[in-house]
Structure 1
Amino acid sequence: MTPPFCVLLGSDYAGKSSALTELARVAPEVRIISADEELLGPGHSLIGRLRRGLVGDVMPALHRDYSADFMLTMLQTAVLHLRDSITRSPAGAPVLVDSYYYKMLAKCRLTGQDGHPLFDWWRSFPQPEQVIFLEVSAETAWRRCGAGRDLNPLEHYGPRADYASFARFQGDLNAAMREEVRSLPVSFISEGDRVSTVAQEIREALGAHELV
């Protein structure tokens, strides 16, 4: 039986990783599940290595050295890690999942992979009690990514990143993610500069659904 869980969602550079790291510090009772290397448990270093290979090797050479199906296969490893980690969570522990499959599926749709059969399988996975959605402006996100310096090919439209291609992609990503979770309860957290404040708001949202 899958325990109740919540998903933390947001477009790129919304501050999810920073908020989750802070939440892990101030609320150790919350089980945080993520594919981010900094938040992986000691037994899941493989997920971090696969993610580095995806971002560093596969995405820059997509459609040249690697097919879209190959990229999706690598994304699948992260999705299954999240799903399996949810099912392994001990009963009674509040569970917060980073993005789940929603963000990856939305990005794939924006890059022309709308009809892949994997997506129907992902959508059959257990659904959360609620989604907590971090909001961020395109201007703030652009500043946080070093004005494009830190972007990967799945964070903007076109072969080269500029503010216009980034802002348009992020706006479409936001809309696609909202569409994916439209049937679920969603709590929105406004953009904030203080990580501690955002983490506290996430904790309060969890408490409102008796998940913490």
Structure 2
Amino acid sequence: MTDRQFYVLLGPDGAGKSSVMAELSAALPGWRTLSTDDELVAAEHRLITQLRRNVIKDVLPGLDAAYSAEFLASLLGTAVVHLRDQLERQIRQDPEVPVLMDSYYYKILAKCRLAGLEGHPLYAWWRSFPQPRAVIYLDVSSETAWRRSGQGARLNPLEYFGRRPEWFGFESYQKNLRKLLLEETGQLPVTVIEEHSGTARTAEAVREVLTA
């Protein structure tokens, strides 16, 4: 199934994407927003947010020692399939309603690759899913993202290289993440939103692109 009536909001860690999605969910009348963030997941789908919390709390600290990268990819893939299912359900219910989706499979795929899983059969499956009409990429400097993370205090192991969150490991990870995200979406129209001060200004810039 292929449909072009949806858009993907993408960005590196610390770009403010979750905050922008939350603001746009109320500022885009007639649109549907799809995300795995807690505040945008319906009560009947709380398993998705529970799994995400368990990945951060239980799987990432034991990656390699207790859990493999393949196991991590399998768990993260539940979010990908959930977003696809929600998109297809929306299309069946009302194909005229435009959809803004959070990250889709692009960011998860990139993070799996950075975790050492360079090739996996799941990737071909994810890439076979419906493709968006366009991607809106929220750009942010590594310095700003590092500051937003509390100088690394709020990072999880899928946001930096190394044993602990330090500046150079974070900066290197984010540069590689950006490269993979733009590589994965290279066949699609991509609009880059440069860094803005504040969620409201960033959300307005995204809204202008979507409604142009």
**Map 1:173-212 → 2, pairs under 5 A:** 173-208=177-212
Moved more, 23-32 or 82-91: 23-32
Structure 2 residue identity aligned to 1:75: L
Q: TM-score under structure 1 normalisation?
A: 0.95
Map of 2:124 onto structure 1: 120
Is 1:76 the counterpart of 2:77 in the alignment? yes
What residue is the counterpart of 2:49 in the other structure? 48
Deviation at 1:46, TM superposition (A): 0.6
2:33 is matched by which residue type in structure 1?
Answer: I
Indicate yes or no: 2:91 matched with 1:87.
Answer: no
Confirm whether residue 154 of structure 1 aligns to residue 167 of structure 2: no
Secondary structure of the 1:125 match is coil
The 2-side partners of 1:49 and 1:68 are apart by: 19
Number of residue equivalences: 208
Tell me if the contact between 1:2 and 1:87 (Cα under 8 Å) persists in the aligned partners.
Answer: no
In the superposition, the TM-score normalised over structure 2's length comes to 0.95
- Secondary structure at 1:13's aligned position in 2? coil
Cα distance between partner residues in 1 of 2:200 and 2:70: 39
Deviating runs (4+, > 2 A) in structure 1?
none
- Encode CA deviations 1:20-46: one digit per residue, 9 max, x unaligned: 111112224221101111211222111
Q: Give the AA of the match of 1:55.
A: I
Distance across 1 between alignment mates of 2:64 and 2:72: 10
Identity of paired residues, percent? 51
Aligned-residue CA RMSD (Å): 1.1
Which segments of 5 or more consecutive residues in structure 1 lack a partner in the other structure? Answer: none
Tell me, in whole angstroms, the C-alpha distance in 2 between the residues paired with 1:112 and 1:63: 10
Q: Which amino acid aligns with 2:73?
A: L
Q: Deviations over 1:89-134 (max 9, x none)?
A: 1221110010000011111112211111111111111100000000
> Conserved in 2, the CA contact under 8 Å of 1:2 and 1:86?
no
Distance 1:2 1:183, change over 3 A: closer
Aligned residue for 1:175, secondary structure, equals helix
1:14 alignment partner, SS class:
coil
Cα distance in 2 for partners of 1:195, 1:68 equals: 33
Whole-angstrom distance in 1 between the partners of 2:115 and 2:60 = 12
Q: Which residue of 1 aligns with 2:135?
A: 131
Please state whether the residue corresponding to 1:79 is helix, strand or coil: helix
Higher mean C-alpha displacement, 192-201 vs 145-154: 192-201
Unaligned runs of 5+ in 2: none
Aligned to 2:9: 8
